[in-house]
Amino acid sequence: MRLAISTGGGDAPGLNAVIRAAVLSAISRGWEVLGICRGYYGLLGEDEIIPLTRESVRGIAHLGGTILRTTNRGNPFEFPVQQPDGQYHLVDRSDEVLAAVRNLGIDALISIGGDGSLAIAQRFFEKGLRVVGVPKTIDNDVSGTITTFGFDTAVSTALEAIDKLHTTAESHDRVIVLEVMGRNAGFIALHSGVAGTADVILIPEIPYDLDRVCEKIMARDRMGRHFSIVVVAEGAYPRGGEESIIGASLPGQSRRVGGIAGRLAYDIEQRTGKESRSLVLGHLQRGGMPTGYDRLLAARFGGVAVEVVEQQKWGHMVALQSPHIVAIPMAEALATPRRVDPTHDIVRVARATGISFGD
């Protein structure tokens, strides 16, 4: 049995722990393991393929990043290829991948990745590849699994930032707006904001009204709390349409450098007269040592993925359905993305403890 492993999409703390557990579990079954470097680039002949041994995975469980490297680019079904005219065209190179798998004698592939990577894995599965998925999403936006590794670490990093900003906000009577990840799903903002007792939490699932945000801040001010912490998911937008916020961005500021937090701080200062500051956490949320929760979950995902390979449940992915790790069809998980349910107990408790969602 020759097993291959690849990691795709954005970095997430715990990738190495998945790889380590999968490699050791496979070796203990007498299998051979190959690592495909940088998503599908390795199989397209544009990056390396390396043997994965006990020695390869020694001492990596607590390290962030991935020893196989990763990328957000290089979808083999729509691969950007430069044409003679200098333009890039999208080309289907998926058959090259399948040929490489055959040539290398790879019996099965464990593909670790987010919704993009899993969708690619599903298409390969439909073309006959024997693939098992391991979901990875910082944003927690993959369905079918309670959570994935990396999310708890990202929430911890955001929470640590909230804790630090709290003391400064309070000492200086300031409003501080913290932007966290979450383009479509507000879980990081919600979980870190409730854990950190933020005053306002803005998420894509609950469009906000700037007036309500400012009302909350001024109500606190009148109660003698002259500071406020606003946690905003990068994808949050004001009631009335996502377009407006983008149109209203300061010139020259792309979303990448934190348009929404800076813009919100500016608007809040203008309306409330309170000194306001913003901070964009950005890549800090993707890096570093995974928490204990994520290290354990990642090890379980890696180990059970090998069991799923052994059971030949191709096209399935591992998923946490507490207290067990189970295997579900990837197609099922991909059917609907996970979003914050505005009636969920976390949102209810947040409101009851005084947190405003700006609605």
Nearer to its own copies, 77 or 266 (CB): 266
State the nearest-atom distance from the C-beta of 37 to its own copies, in Å.
11
Taking a C-beta distance cutoff of 8 angstroms, is the pair 44, 99 a contact? no
DSSP state of 252: T
Interface positions, 177-196, toward its own copies (CB under 8 A): 191-192, 194-196
Taking a C-beta distance cutoff of 8 angstroms, is the pair 253, 259 a contact? yes
Nearest to 235 by CA among 264, 250, 255: 255
The pair of three-digit structure tokens given for residue 277, joined into one six-digit string: 């500051």
CA atoms within 13 A on the CB side of 71: 14
Give counts: helices (H), strands (E), the chain.
11, 13
Nearer to its own copies, 93 or 263 (CB): 263
Nearer to its own copies, 166 or 313 (CB): 166
Q: Pick the catalytic residue from 11, 115, 139, 152.
A: 139
Answer yes or no whether residue 18 interacts with its own copies by CB under 8 A: no
Interface positions, 264-323, toward its own copies (CB under 8 A): 277-280, 282-284, 286-289, 291-293, 295-296, 299-300, 302-304, 306-307, 321-323
Could you give the C-alpha distances from 129 to 37, 80, 121, in angstroms and in order? 18, 22, 8
Interface positions, 115-174, toward its own copies (CB under 8 A): 146, 152, 155-157, 159-161, 163-168, 170-173
326-345 mask for its own copies (x: CB under 8 A)?
A: ------------------xx
53-72 mask for its own copies (x: CB under 8 A)?
A: --------xxxxxx--xxxx
Nearest to 18 by CA among 320, 298, 318: 298
The pair of three-digit structure tokens given for residue 132, joined into one six-digit string: 């098992």
The pair of three-digit structure tokens given for residue 47, joined into one six-digit string: 């990056």
Known catalytic residue at 139: yes
State the nearest-atom distance from the C-beta of 53 to its own copies, in Å.
12
Using the contact rule CB under 8 A, the part of the chain among 9-17, 85-93, 97-105, 208-216 near its own copies is: 9-17
Active site residues: 139
